[in-house]
Amino acid sequence: MNATSRKPFIDIQKEIMSLAEAKGACSEGMDDASESTNHDEMLSVIKKHAAWLFINKVIDADWLEANFSTEDLHRNHIYTSGKHQISVDTDVAILTLGSSSATVETLGSSSATVKTSDSSSATVKTWDSSSATVKTWGSSSATVETLGSSSATVKTSDSSSATVKTWDSSSATVKTWGSSSATVETWGSSSATVETWDSSSATVETWDSSSATVKTWGSSSATVETWGSSSATVETWDSSSATVETWGSSSATVETLGSSSATVKTWGSSSATVETLGSSSATVKTWGSSSATVETWDSSKLTHSLGDGPCPIIKHLNERKVYIKTSNFEIVQVN
């Protein structure tokens, strides 16, 4: 279909409602489609319910190109092919599909919602006090940077991926599902909240005085590194796992629950606080002048490897014993 031709609206409405109903669409989505009265309103409905429509293969990029003109799609910030540069200072929702790519910048106090599907990609930058919500599914990808006091919410699903960097006093919330993955870096005094589910994974690095909160569920995994005077709080649940390394004067708080596991390594003058519960386990290694405080509960287990640093304070609370290493060769046990 060329840039200006399109199917009659009533034909599009009947077809998409029939396709959606066959896939078990919710009443809200069906109502939204039936209440739309023109091409632009229908495209707004499609963007609103894009995740469900494309994950359930109700429609795809080819269907959009066959039913709407290129002008319709671009006017509504929907891109099915080609490269696009978008700068917004008002609230906007953007959808990339097929093999398309988009570079999106939000300015002032504006906000953008960016959704990527198929093999499409998006690069998103937020400035000032602006914000962005980014969702990726299929095999799509997104690169997100937040600056100033801006913020971003990033969600990855299926086998999609996201790279997220936060700067200054900005913040990011990142959630991964399915077999998707995320790489998150925090700098300056910025912060990030990262949650991984299913078999997804996240790699998180914190620098300067920034901070990160990381939670893993299901069989997901996280790798967390803290540098400078930054900090991280890590929780692992179910059969998930985490690898945590602290450097410089940074710190980490790690909790393992269920049958999850954690490997914790401290370097330099950094520190870690580790708690294991349920049938979970932790492996702790300390180097240099770094330190670790470890508490084990229930049937959980701890393995400590000395490296060349001091042994951590270890509290086996279910045994009501405390083991403290006061020198390189002396162990004191208090009953």
Task: Provide the mean pLDDT of the chain.
Answer: 89
pLDDT-derived band at 77 (thresholds 50, 70, 90) equals: very high
Give the tens place of pLDDT for each residue, 250-281.
Answer: 999 999 999 999 999 989 899 888 888 889 88
Tell me, yes or no, whether 82 lies in a domain. Answer: no
User: Which 8-state DSSP code applies to residue 311?
Assistant: P
Tell me, yes or no, whether 257 lies in a domain. Answer: yes
Final residue belonging to a domain, choices 28, 48, 68: 68
User: What pLDDT is recorded for position 299?
Assistant: 81
How far CA 238 is from CA of 1, 137, 165, 196, 241, in Å, comes to: 50, 24, 28, 12, 9
Tell me, yes or no, whether 93 lies in a domain. Answer: no
Average pLDDT over residues 57-77: 95
User: What pLDDT is recorded for position 313?
Assistant: 52
Q: Would you call 243 helix, strand, or coil by DSSP?
A: strand
pLDDT-derived band at 225 (thresholds 50, 70, 90) equals: very high
As for how many domains the chain has, the answer is 2
Residue 59 pLDDT > 70, yes or no? yes
Residue 331 pLDDT > 70, yes or no? no
User: What pLDDT is recorded for position 320?
Assistant: 40
Tell me, yes or no, whether 108 lies in a domain. Answer: no
Residue 138 pLDDT > 70, yes or no? yes
Domain identity same for 54 and 199: no
Stated pTM of the model: 0.86
State how far Cα 133 lies from the chain centre: 11
User: What pLDDT is recorded for position 304?
Assistant: 62
Tell me, yes or no, whether 243 lies in a domain. Answer: yes
Host domain of residue 193: 123-334
How far CA 85 is from CA of 88, 127, 147, in Å, comes to: 10, 16, 19
Tell me, yes or no, whether 95 lies in a domain. Answer: no
User: What pLDDT is recorded for position 328?
Assistant: 39
Residue 2 pLDDT > 80, yes or no? no
Tell me, yes or no, whether 185 lies in a domain. Answer: yes
